[in-house]
Amino acid sequence: DYLFYSTQINITILIVPRLTRLFVPDCMRMAQVQVDAVGLKRSGEDLFPGCDYRSEALSIVVVGASGDLARKKTYPSLFDLYLTSFLPAHAKIVGYARSKMSDEEFRGKIRPTLEKKKCSPEVLEGFLETLSYRSGKYDSEEDVAALHQYLEELETAAGKSHTNRLFYFAIPPSVFSGVGGAIKNQALVSGQRGWNRLVIEKPFGRDLESFEKLNSVMKGLFHEDQIYRIDHYLGKEMVQNILTLRFANSIYEPVWNRNYINSVTFTFKEDFGTAGRGGYFDEFGIIRDVMQNHLLQVLCIIAMEPPYSLKGKEGASSIRGAKVNVLKSIEPLRLDETVLGQYVADDVGKNPGYTEDETVPNGSLAPTFATTVFHINNTRWDGVPFIMKAGKALNEKKSEVRIQFGSPPGCSAMFDQSETVVRNELVLRMQPNEAIYLVMNMKSPGLDER
């Protein structure tokens, strides 16, 4: 059900660049495909088997379209699908949010982010033409009914016998149930005409209690097979590549354990503060915003046992089960291994501190920096610290996993004590400039032993 699709990645520091392989599902299988300025040229048989939605009417509603998440993540991702023809040309993308603006104003807001993509102006304009915008209250059935009427007009114009709708929630969890109820009552297509799906971004609640309450409400409105809870961090190329790196290369899995690995460090650094988004951020803080979702997902993939399959629904279930087993093996965090903090203004007063942001509540104690240590109590990882660090307004923008191996046996006696023998490290850098590199010890050129 899967093929291996080769792509080139940069591997630096004494490693010859090689071809790596990525797992690609059936509906992404391509034969004799060439990319040009307009998109994909098709030659041969159906290049998208399993992607039946491409021949059917498709309406994508981005709920919360005026926000940062939609502008920075959702619409660029949809544009990528458009560029590779996985988004059918007749698909329509409708933004829905409370802010009032025209279609042209909305396209002008989205355009700068999309212009960073490498494509011709004609392709960009073609995608922008698929975008439109409607304003309304999230919990107003009257406003959502008007949205439904607009969607029907678009779908009728498409002239397709089947109609599918996808609702992407780029909104805070506090409004999930309100807009979910309005969509359920006013904006779904009938089962005979096509499918309805909801894609829900993290955070899905603030804690266990709010999650259970929210989950109960959403499951009361929609069937489980209609709800897709996602963490967009799992879509990063480097994160997806961890499975291939671990299980498609014979050199890593034998040493992927406590006998050879000394520590694993996850680092997430942003070089900017809340920048006017303090009201949203303060409700969650850096732990809920980044660590317990993005970084914990990566930790699970690094630490999990090999899944029995990576293919289709069977693979999804296998990977999920392996990740759950990791979570069950993690002992409660220790306060003496945890540090929290808030960023303050810089010395020259150019960048204000967190509590000086006008959108941050007075006296806020929400952490903008946190570091802690995870201990996984199983036979593979017992005694290996998994160190997680995340923060805003730091010295650089960086996201990486650093896997440090133990010192070679007898190393201290073998080499000159004045020379430092650095431990080997495998580094997976998610951003900026995705890369995989290995830190190794080599002798410097010359007659001495350095």
Among 170, 74, 152, CA closest to 114: 74
Contact 40, 85 (CB under 8 A): yes
Residue 294 annotated among the catalytic residues of the structure: yes
DSSP class of residue 400 equals E
User: In 39-131, which ranges are continuous DSSP H helix?
Assistant: 68-69, 75-83, 103-114, 121-128
Q: Whats the size of the chain, residue-wise?
A: 450
Instruction: Tokens 């998994």: give the residue.
Output: 386
Choice among 90, 162, 223, 294 that is catalytic:
294
Alpha-carbon dihedral 412, 413, 416, 422, rounded to 10 degrees = -20
CA distance 71 to 115: 12
Provide φ and ψ at 297, rounded to 5°: -60, -45
Token pair, residue 401, equals 């996993």
Q: For the range 45-48, what are the long-range contacts, defined as Cβ-Cβ under 8 Å and sequence gap of 24 or more?
A: 48/85, 48/86
CA distance 36 to 70: 27
Query: Can you name the residues that pair with 20 across neighbouring β-strands?
Result: 7
Count CB atoms within 10 A of the CB of residue 127.
Answer: 24
Contact 178, 185 (CB under 8 A): no
Q: Determine the 3-state secondary structure of 274 from DSSP.
A: coil
CA distance 110 to 361: 30
Provide φ and ψ at 226, rounded to 5°: -95, -15
CA distance 80 to 67: 19
CA distance 310 to 10: 24
Sequence-distant (≥ 6) Cβ neighbours of residue 92 within 8 angstroms: 58, 59, 60, 130, 132, 151, 154, 155, 158
CA distance 413 to 34: 57
Contact 59, 154 (CB under 8 A): yes
Estimate the crossing angle of helix 75-83 against helix 103-114, to 10 degrees: 70
Token pair, residue 316, equals 């999804």
User: In 135-207, which ranges are continuous DSSP H helix?
Assistant: 141-158, 176-186
- Catalytic (active-site) positions: 294
